Amino acid sequence: MTKEMQFKEIVAQYCDIAPEKMTNDMRFREDLGFSSLDFMAFLGELEDTFDLELEEQEILKVVTIEEALALLDTLDEND
């Protein structure tokens, strides 16, 4: 499974949209219906799954799936 699909599988646990129907321009709050609590819990799940350390100030700027994936890529490059 690609990292992107793995990421979307996690997103799908928090909303009613199947991973294959997600588009990268979807916004977590407006399009996927994430509450603040959902979003922060989701980030914790990402940290555990991908073994990452997310910077709180950076992640709060994330709005779309694309931005979140880009952030994950950046963190990978820095590893």
Partner 1 sequence: MRDYYELTAAQKMHHQWIVDYKTQQVSGVSVIASLKTELDFGLLKKCIQLEFERYGCMRIRITKPDENGEVKQYIVDRDSRDIPLKDLSGMSMQEADDLMQQWAYETFDGDDIPLCDVSMMKLPDGYNGFFIHMDHRLIDSCGLIVMINDLMQLYTHYRFGSKYPEDLTDFETVLANDLKKANSEKRFAKDKKFWDDQLDALGEPLYSDISGPSVLEEARKRHKNKKLRAADIEMKQLFVAVKDYILEPDATKNLIDFCINHQLSMTNLLLLGIRTYLSKVNNGQEDITIENFISRRSTHSEWTSGGSRTIMFPCRTVITSDTDFLSAAYEIQNMQNRIYMHSNYDPALIMAEMKKRYNTPDYTTYESCYLTYQPMTVKMDNPHVANIPQHSKWFANGAATKKMYLTVSHTAEGGMNFSYHYQTAHLEEHDMELLYYYMMRILFKGIAEPDMTIGEIMDNV
Question: How many C-alpha atoms does 15 have within 13 Å on its Cβ side?
Answer: 24
Does residue 48 touch partner 1 according to CB under 8 A? yes
Give the separation between CA 37 and CA 23, rounded to whole angstroms: 22
Residue 40 or 69 having the CB closest to partner 1: 40
Residue 11 or 26 having the CB closest to partner 1: 11
Strand partners, 64: 27
Q: Which of 36, 61, 78, 79 binds partner 1 (CB under 8 A)?
A: 36
Does residue 50 touch partner 1 according to CB under 8 A? no
